[in-house]
Amino acid sequence: MRHVLPLLLFGCTEGEILFEASSEPTDLADTNDPDNATDATSEPEATPQPRFAPATLHTTVPGPGGLVLPIQVWYPAQENAASSLHSYDGLVRGHALDNAPAACDEPRPVIAFSHGNLGVRWQSLTITEELARYGFIVVSPDHVGNTLGGPAFALSVLVQRRPYDLIQAYNGLFNLPALSGCLDPDAGYLTVGHSFGGYTALMAAGATLPGEAIDELCRAGNSTACGLRAQLTALGVEGDFEPGDARVRGVAVLAPWDATLLGEGAQDVRVPSLYLTGAGDPITPLDTMVRPLWDQMGATPTSLGVLPGGGHFSFVYDCEAVGGSVADGCGPNATPLPLIHDLTVQAVLTLAGQTGLLPAESPLPRADEIDWHTR
């Protein structure tokens, strides 16, 4: 039976992730083994090392407006933990152990990850599993109304609600018995997101949608802006849309989308930030979308990593099955996914050090496949 996972960007060309599902889930153990990824760091002695086996669990938490949010949680387990590999919705099996006991002799740093439009919570499992190997807890919600096979909500609803999904997913971690002793409520967390999830992560980290800009776009005929204004008015909000969570310590965005509304609101993010994008991405283009967002970032440090051989789908677990072009990060001439995912993980480790979630700051990963801009 063939399953389709479309990752769409509003106003852009459709792309799809296609994969086969049989009685046995697809096994990524041989094709995406993190031990086979190229070492992209020039100073390995200064870089954290993976010490754990990745484990994962799937559960639900209360979401905004009475919604029930499915979440995937990755976390560190002991290397010798006895457990089978987790099957993601019966479709894909990666490297994460299923419901293995958490290794929490001390509190672990936390990341909240937001998937792309019409994606799923585990779309970037090769990245999130690897972060668990480094001791991170990563929580990713299914954004209800914006996922594979589920109901489709209006864009204006999603623009307003998605940041709260991410914040509620983080809040839900504190009620999970499996993570007892793993969390420090005073430590804060990072937000990370891909595409529409990049917008989500930025908004949760303190970006704003200026009220004047929303109203101006609505007067110009932008139906999303009009719908968002109607929702905000019903909630008693007449000015800017500011869903940010003060507990967010840093934000990383992967091929981020600006939701056509963000405008200059990214400058209100006051925490360290990381941008990663493919040079030829046709969906969220570097020159007209990603770079203008990054240029606004007022807080430092901030880093922009450009992947000459990367594209929009370079940050999902399996680009080979994406129904897109080489410019989308697919094809034999694109930078291999294991290398891009390794670079992504290493860059997130740097961000975590910059924010204090890790005890020391490691250098940004250096490789011919990535060009860095920093300030």
Q: What is the pTM (predicted TM-score) of this model?
A: 0.90
Asked if 101 and 81 count as a contact pair (C-beta separation under 8 A), the reply is: yes
Does any domain span residue 335? yes
Helices (H), the chain: 125-133, 155-173, 196-204, 211-219, 223-234, 291-296, 337-355
Does any domain span residue 228? no
Does any domain span residue 221? no
Range of the domain at 330: 2-207+244-374
Count structural domains, the chain: 1
Residue 81 confidence (pLDDT) = 83
Does any domain span residue 225? no
Does any domain span residue 217? no
Angle (CA) 242-244-250 rounded to 5° is 140
Answer yes or no: is pLDDT of 35 > 50.
no
Answer yes or no: is pLDDT of 130 > 50.
yes
Residue 201 confidence (pLDDT) = 98
Q: Could you give the dihedral angle defined by the CA atoms of residues 71, 77, 81 and 84, in that order, rounded to the nearest 10 degrees?
A: 20
Does any domain span residue 257? yes
CATH no. for residue 18?
Answer: 3.40.50.1820
Residue 115 confidence (pLDDT) = 97
Region 40-65: mean pLDDT is: 81
Residue 303 confidence (pLDDT) = 98
Could you report the per-residue pLDDT of 168-199, keeping only the tens digit for each?
A: 999 999 999 999 999 999 999 999 999 999 99
Answer yes or no: is pLDDT of 142 > 60.
yes
Could you report the per-residue pLDDT of 194-203, keeping only the tens digit for each?
A: 999 999 999 9
Residue 25 confidence (pLDDT) = 65
Does any domain span residue 239? no
Does any domain span residue 213? no
